Amino acid sequence: MTNPTEIRKKLRRILPRVEKPGRYVGGELNQVVKDWNSVETHFSMVFPDIYDIGVPNLGVMILYEILNNRRDVLCERAYLPWLDMEAELRQSDIPLYSLESFHPLCDFDIIGFSIPYETIYTNVLNVLDLARIPMKSVDRTNTDPLIIAGGHSTFNPEPMSDFIDAFVIGEGEEVINDVVNVYQEWKRSGAERSSLLLKLSQIQGIYVPSMYEVTYHEDGTIDSVHPKHSTIPATVLKRMIPVLPPPPTHFIVPSIGVVHNRIAVEIMRGCTRGCRFCHAGMINRPVRERTVDEIVNSIEEALLNTGYEEISLLSLSSSDYTHISELVSAISERFAGKHLTISLPSLRIESFSVDIIEKLRGSRQGGFTLAPEAATDTMRNRINKPIQTAQLLATVREIYSRGWTTVKLYFMIGQPDETIEDVEAIIKVCKAVIGEGHKLIGKKANLHVGVGTFVPKPHTPFQWASVDDLESIYAKQKLLRDSFKGPGLRFTWTNPKETMLEAALSRGDRRIGEVIYTAWKNGAKFDAWQDQYKYNTWIEAFALCGIDPLFYISRPRGKDEVFPWDHISPGVSRKFLENEFEKSQQGVLTEDCRENCHACGILPIYNDVRRANPGELWLCPEVK
């Protein structure tokens, strides 16, 4: 067996050979190291991408703090090593280890993966392989760790169901403790692994794929998904925390630079806007806010614990936070003049947003980012993000005239029923924006336009829609590329071949598991890294498994089709989504749900919870 001492000894010799060795040694401020033998349960939280990206992940930080607050549990971190380090580990026969104690991951009881997006799936397989843990759930025995996973992409768990023993659906803050408790009871009992999986599948918010049977129609669509035991729910309802717990304040402070070096505070969870393409907006309901006091105090505490120079206030739509003015005033009063950078992303397109940012930061470094998503009223109505071009122009005038030189705009192409006129309108709007910049500040004005390609996500009104085809996307991107030329203009876009993979993986069923495995076996990893993505490897993998990716990507779904994710519930009803899809096709808007409840399904499900938690921290109406 490989033990921590041996691992450390071998590492001494390989670390000088790799890029940024600081990624692989832990020892950071605020890491928690407990005596291995003095705790009952050993948990490893894994972010399956490199350290630089994984360390700032807020979800990992939240669960790390919760688990380490338990006396009977230790939680240690692991990330996927970069290619050079992976090669060294394999060459020197070192299994993937945790950064706190250098224990090999296979020594842990539970391994929890954070899976926020689909193009990280092959990395999960690579972690398991480097950790020498049987890749498939079915091959694991009592001596192997329990492998669980959570995060936004697990709202369609099926593509990864071969590899993950149990999925956490929804918010992890409470259920992670339930999982540990059930695990401990099982381990003390000495029973078979199958009894652990059965017990886990009875926890609300836990989905154990091996406990469900999927049957298919002849045309390949799903006939039904049903549990194998009567004690297991037919539909797995997500976990939801009625009142957001205090935010984490003991952030790990890496000793090397990573992508975000900052304190991150979630000011609210969820969004009332109801943009029809937005996965996060549908799965994070109901909308819950933190109080101004709680936010400001947690920043104060986190500053003392970390010494960070940057604070980021996170939410899906910051302008919609009920007490935004009060919050911004409180923050600028408490933290002004201390050489801190405070960022507040996701602002609405209105001049008030410029006021807010101006108040938060003395200097105007960086650009000012807005996301209109679409440029014609027709498309804006379809996606339910109504923004007037005049208002956008008024906002950018404020931005350029108040000292910023760069505006960043995000648009999307490939939404259902998009025409070439809709794409041309993006060009027109952007030219008008940079025109305003030139008028106000001349050649100093910059405009960065990022255009993403739409992927219809599970649990959104667009789940019935198909992805635009490859040729059409290429044509639209060429049109944009050819037009975005001129002083101050910069244009970035996503590789359509990456969009295709994202679509197949996010819309896939459990048959996709074999494709993921085959792609990984043939060298696919770091698929979210543009320079690492191997399109041909994926195409070959689909062919080898006899699966047509277009079945998942390009096929519009019938009203009655059973989706691979239908037995997973984010609380929003299928009926509501269907109604929203119809309204989209008719070009009818649905107003912000703070104005009027549209019965998305949350309140009937969480009726008692809302009644027990009255008041303004939830943005849903009160329940009598």
Structure tokens belonging to residue 389: 């071009």
From candidates 4, 22, 227, 242, binder to other proteins by CB under 8 A: 22
d(CA 472, CA 477): 9
For residues 569 and 155, the answer to whether their CB atoms sit within 8 Å is no
Q: Which is nearer to other proteins, 441 or 623 (CB)?
A: 441
DSSP assignment letter at 467: P
Cβ closest to other proteins, residue 143 vs residue 363: 363
- Smallest distance from the beta carbon of 308 to other proteins, in angstroms? 7
Sole residue written with tokens 């320079």: 531
Question: Do the strands 341-343 and 288-289 form a parallel or antiparallel pair, or are they unpaired?
Answer: unpaired
Binding range to other proteins, per CB under 8 A, among 187-195, 254-262, 474-482, 529-537: 254-262
Candidate segments 197-205, 252-260, 500-508, 531-539, binder of other proteins by CB under 8 A:
252-260
Asked if 295 touches other proteins (CB under 8 A), the answer is no
CB of 81 to other proteins, least distance (A): 14
Min dist CB 26 to other proteins, Å, is 8
Closest to other proteins by CB, 54 vs 145, is 54
- Give least dist CB 88 to other proteins, A: 12
Q: Is 308 in the site for other proteins (CB under 8 A)?
A: yes
Alpha helices (H) along 307-419 = 324-335, 351-360, 377-383, 389-401
Give every CB contact of residue 355 below 8 A, 6+ residues apart in sequence: none
Q: How many residues bind other proteins (CB under 8 A)?
A: 27
Q: Single out the segment in contact with other proteins by CB under 8 A; choices: 84-92, 255-263, 454-462, 529-537.
A: 255-263
N-term to C-term CA, the chain: 61
Task: Measure the CA dihedral 237/209/135/151, to 10°.
Answer: -10
Report the interhelical angle of 496-507 vs 535-544 (nearest 10°): 40
Tokens of 466: 């198909």
Rounded least distance, CB 80 to other proteins, Å: 18
Q: Is residue 403 a contact residue for other proteins (CB under 8 A)?
A: no
Identify the residue among 32, 87, 241, 253 touching other proteins (CB under 8 A): 253
Q: Give the span between the Cα atoms of 486 and 466, in whole angstroms.
A: 34
Indicate the residue among 31 and 573 with the shorter CB distance to other proteins.
31
Question: What type of residue is 614?
Answer: P
Does residue number 190 form part of the binding site for other proteins (CB under 8 A)?
no
Task: Identify the residue among 4, 15, 40, 424 touching other proteins (CB under 8 A).
Answer: 15
Enumerate residues 28-47 that contact other proteins by CB under 8 A: 28-29
Comparing CB distances to other proteins, the nearer of 187 and 260 is 260
Segment interacting with other proteins, rule: CB under 8 A, options 181-189, 196-204, 249-257, 539-547: 249-257
Burial of 5 (0-12, 13-18, 19+ CB in 10 A): exposed
Closer residue to other proteins, CB minimum distance, 85 or 547: 85
Q: Which is nearer to other proteins, 16 or 546 (CB)?
A: 16
State which of residues 5, 230, 257, 390 lies at the interface with other proteins (CB under 8 A).
Answer: 257
Nearest distance, CB of residue 76 and other proteins, angstroms: 15
Q: Say which DSSP state 146 is in.
A: E
Among 203, 168, 161, CA closest to 182? 203
Give the residue, chosen from 220, 245, 307, 442, that forms a contact with other proteins under the rule CB under 8 A.
307
Strands 263-266 and 310-314: parallel
CA dihedral 77, 307, 65, 135 (to 10 degrees): -20
* Among 80, 268, 303, 324, contact with other proteins (rule: CB under 8 A): 303
Q: How far apart are CA 228 and CA 208, in angstroms?
A: 11
Distances (CA, A) of 260 to 56, 132, 207, 308, 568: 6, 31, 32, 11, 32
Q: How far is the CB of 102 from other proteins (least distance, A)?
A: 12
Q: According to CB under 8 A, which residues from 354 to 373 bind other proteins?
A: 363
HSE-CB of 141 using CA atoms within 13 angstroms = 1
CB of 360 to other proteins, least distance (A): 17
CB of 256 to other proteins, least distance (A): 5
255 binds other proteins (CB under 8 A): yes
Contacts 24+ apart (CB under 8 A), 212-221: 212/567, 214/509, 214/510, 214/564, 220/551, 221/561, 221/562
Q: Which is nearer to other proteins, 27 or 621 (CB)?
A: 27
Q: Which stretch binds other proteins (CB under 8 A): 15-23, 86-94, 482-490, 512-520?
A: 15-23
Pick from 261, 322, 369, 573 the residue near other proteins by CB under 8 A.
Answer: 261
Locate all alpha helices (DSSP H) within 58-192, ordered by sequence: 58-68, 83-91, 121-130, 172-189
Asked if residue 328 lies in contact with residue 356, where contact means CB atoms within 8 angstroms, the answer is: yes
Question: Of 12 and 624, which has the nearer Cβ to other proteins?
Answer: 12
Residue listed under structure tokens 């060298």: 523
> If binding is defined by CB under 8 A, does position 17 make contact with other proteins?
yes
Contact flag: residue 444 with other proteins (CB under 8 A): no
Question: What is the CB neighbour count within 10 angstroms for residue 165?
Answer: 23
Q: Which of 5, 91, 333, 339 binds other proteins (CB under 8 A)?
A: 339
Which of the stretches 26-34, 148-156, 164-172, 486-494 binds other proteins when contact is defined by CB under 8 A?
26-34
Residues making up the chain, counted from first to last: 624
Please provide the DSSP assignment of 472-502 as one string: HHHHHHHHHHHH--STTEEEEE--HHHHHHH
Among 72, 213, 300, 309, binds other proteins (CB under 8 A): 309
List interacting residues with other proteins (CB under 8 A): 12-13, 15-17, 20-22, 25, 27-29, 253, 255-257, 261, 303-309, 338-339, 363
